[in-house]
Structures are given as structure tokens and as C-alpha cells.
Structure 1
Amino acid sequence: MQIETPPTEKRYDKAEGERRGLVIVNTGDGKGKSTAAFGLALRAHGRGKAVKVFQFMKVPSARFGEHRMFEQIGLSIEGLGDGFSWKSKDLDHSAQLARDGWAKARAAILSGENFLVVLDEITYPLIYGWLPLQEVLDTLAARPKDVHVCLTGRRCPEEIIAIADTVTEMKLIKHAFQAGIPAQRGIED
């Protein structure tokens, strides 16, 4: 590690552009995509902003840590799917759930009633061909001026990355699972 001298002057000028809703993407093979989106949701909720979180791969009855906490603080989170695709008994049904869920998420975005809409793990129904990419792009373009949308998941389509305002790629460097350590409640759920 190299020791650095702390900066004594601000290293950037204040942005002069207009404040508006952003399209934010958290993608990549590393951990933290959903966690970062949930942190964003908590930050907005803490400021009294209306937030909706839609999870495209989680079942509606999911009771992961984020569901328990969000329920306690009154932050809306909804599972739209039927779990991991490899556990699905009917991929046509999984695709239909994604389409039905997208209709809800799209309405939440276009209503203008929400400051932030999180589309957690939306990249999977997109890359599986369950959702039409153009419809998602059109919705992002047509959203009301002050609505922020955060999309998460691996292999985000380049078309979404191209229109996004902020894109973060989580890079896997090392993961406990590679050392044979299973997922742990409260860390990976």
C-alpha cells in the first residue's frame, strides 16, 4: 500500500447542469449490485421520497433480509418472479411472470408518483428474451423528468448502458463461494 497525502483542495467544480431523474445501472459479475441499489433506495426513503423496489427473480413470498427490513420501515418491495431459472418447473410461466411484473414496474415508472424505482435483476428476463428490450428502453425514455430508475443484474444489455447516466460494473476479484464457503443469511440474502 502506498500512503497518500489527503487533498487540501476540492478536485472538481460544482456541476452546473439541471437536476433530473437518472438511469442508474449496477452490473457485472461481482457482488454488490442489488446491495448498492438497496442502499440507494434507503437513502431516498430516508429523505421522505417515494420508492418502489421490484425484484424480477424473487418470488412474491420471499422473506430475505431486505424484505424484512423494508417492511419494518415501510419501503415497498415486491418479488415478481419464481426464483432461480434452474429451479423453475415451467420457463414459459417464468417468462409470463416477468412480463406481468414488467407491467407493474412500467406503470410505477410512468406514473410519476415515485422518486426512485429499482428494477432488481431485470437484466435476466431481458437477456432470456422474456421482456422486449425496446419496450424497456422506450419506458426509460418516456419516464417523467424527475423519476430515477436503477437497474441491476449481470450482462446488462449495451443499449441500456448507452442511455444510462451512471453505470457501475462490479468486478469479481475473490468470492468466498470459490473457497467452498456457502452463502450466508444476512450477507447474501
Structure 2
Amino acid sequence: MTDNQEIPSRSEERKAERHKQRQQKVKATVDAKIAAAQEEKGILLVLTGNGKGKSTSGFGTVARSVGHGKKAAVVQFIKGNWDCGERTLLEGAGVEFHVMGTGFTWETQDRDKDTQAAKTAWEAAEKLLQDERIDCVMLDELTYMVSYHYLDVERVIEALKNRPKMQHVIVTGRACHRAIIELADTVSEVLPIKHAFDHGIKAQPGFDY
């Protein structure tokens, strides 16, 4: 040992040993969970809450699916026909899109028109939810359609329950109906801490859409 090398103190050695023991316990817990998780099935993922990033997270999962050579499809409720960076990218990768196309309900202010548009989009979703060739289906902003009673929640639940066994589904949007949350395998809530728009910063292409 050279003069420049320091001999670890007893306290540092004890600290390192305690860290090692903690990590061994963590590893044992994780290994046990991995060993217990043997079932393979399609996952119903709900991304809800009032924070920004629900659709972004959902599209990330769709991109992951495509990256593994899986076939994916997206139905967008609420959204209009404006440019969508994710759609441009994913359609180029072979992802099928169905867009409700009426825009936000506070823009249309036409309940009958919105209801009919929602039903048309949902009919496309139902076909995807019956198609064994589709590995992953994203139902973007579906929660609003149920909250506004444009779609019957029982009809939605029935389609989700009876989809192909290995088909993954992603549901996004605020205030997800309790029945969908109860059916879901994984639920994440995105909470708002700060949002640029609330401070007068406009939505920008390439970042917000």
C-alpha cells in the first residue's frame, strides 16, 4: 500500500457492511416477488389524475410495444385533428390510429355531436378490443367519455373484460370511473405540482403535443 492510499476506518467499514446487508434484504424481497409472478396475461393499465403526462406515458408504452415488434393501435377521444407528434411518429411505425376529431368539448359546445363522435370512436375501439392480432391498444382520454356519459360504462367494461387474453390496454384521462379502476391491473395517478400553462406559458409543438 502506498503512502497515498488511505486505510478505511472501522466506521466506514461498518457503514459499508450495513449498506450491503440492506441491499441483500432488498434483493431477497425483489427476487421473491419475481418468483411469485408467474402468470402471463394482457395488462389493463390506467393512467389518471390531474397532472400532465398521462398520454405521454401511454404513448411511451405503445412505442415500447412497437419496439418489441408488437402490433399496436390507438383511439384518441377528445383530441382534434391538429398535429400530434406521437401520432406522426407512430403511424410511420405502422400503428393504427382512430381519432374522434371533434376537439375539446368546451370548444364544440354541442353535446349531441360529441356523443355521436364518441360512439363512432368507441365502435372502432370495440373492434380493436376483439382483434387478437393487436397486442396493445391505447384508449387516450377515454375517461372523459364515461364521465360525461357519452359512453355507457357497462359497455366499456364489457369490452375490456372480453378482449383477447394477452392484449394489453392503456386507458388515460382524469377522473377515471371507479369500475374501470377496479377492473384494472395497474393504476397510476399523475399529480400536478406545477404547470407552465398556469403561469402563462403557451403549449409548444415538440414538447406539449
Calculate the TM-score normalised by the size of structure 2: 0.83
Which stretch of structure 1 is more off in the superposition, 64-73 or 30-39? 64-73
Question: 1:121 aligns to what?
Answer: 141
Aligned-partner SS, 2:129: helix
The unaligned stretches of length 5 or more in structure 2 are 1-18
Question: 1:84 aligns to what?
Answer: 104
Amino acid at match of 1:167: V
Pick aligned residue for 2:69 from 39, 45, 48: 48
Over residues 142-175 of structure 1, what are the superposed CA-to-partner deviations in whole Å (9 max), with x where a residue is unaligned? 1111111110000000111011000000000111
Q: How far off its partner does 1:71 sit?
A: 2.5
Larger Rg, first or second structure (1 or 2): 2
> What does 1:162-181 correspond to in 2, within 5 Å?
162-181=182-201
Contact in 2 for aligned 1:52/1:116 (Cα 8 Å):
yes
Percent identity at matched positions? 40
> What does 1:136-147 correspond to in 2, within 5 Å?
136-147=156-167
Question: Is 1:156 matched up with 2:176?
Answer: yes
> What does 1:6-85 correspond to in 2, within 5 Å?
8-9=23-24, 10=27, 11-12=29-30, 13=32, 14=34, 15-59=36-80, 61-85=81-105
Question: 2:119 aligns to what?
Answer: 99
Q: How far off its partner does 1:89 sit?
A: 4.9
Over residues 99-154 of structure 1, what are the superposed CA-to-partner deviations in whole Å (9 max), with x where a residue is unaligned? 01101101101122211100000011110000000011111111111111110000
Q: How far off its partner does 1:18 sit?
A: 1.1
Aligned-partner SS, 1:110: coil
CA distance in 1, matches of 2:151, 2:101: 13
Q: How far off its partner does 1:86 sit?
A: 0.9
CA distance in 2, matches of 1:179, 1:101: 34
Contact in 2 for aligned 1:62/1:79 (Cα 8 Å):
no
**Does 1 or 2 have the higher relative contact order (CA < 8 Å, sep 6+)?**
1
The unaligned stretches of length 5 or more in structure 1 are none
Q: Aligned residue pairs: how many? A: 184
Over residues 35-82 of structure 1, what are the superposed CA-to-partner deviations in whole Å (9 max), with x where a residue is unaligned? 0100000000111111001101123x4321112211322222221230
RMSD, aligned CA: 1.6
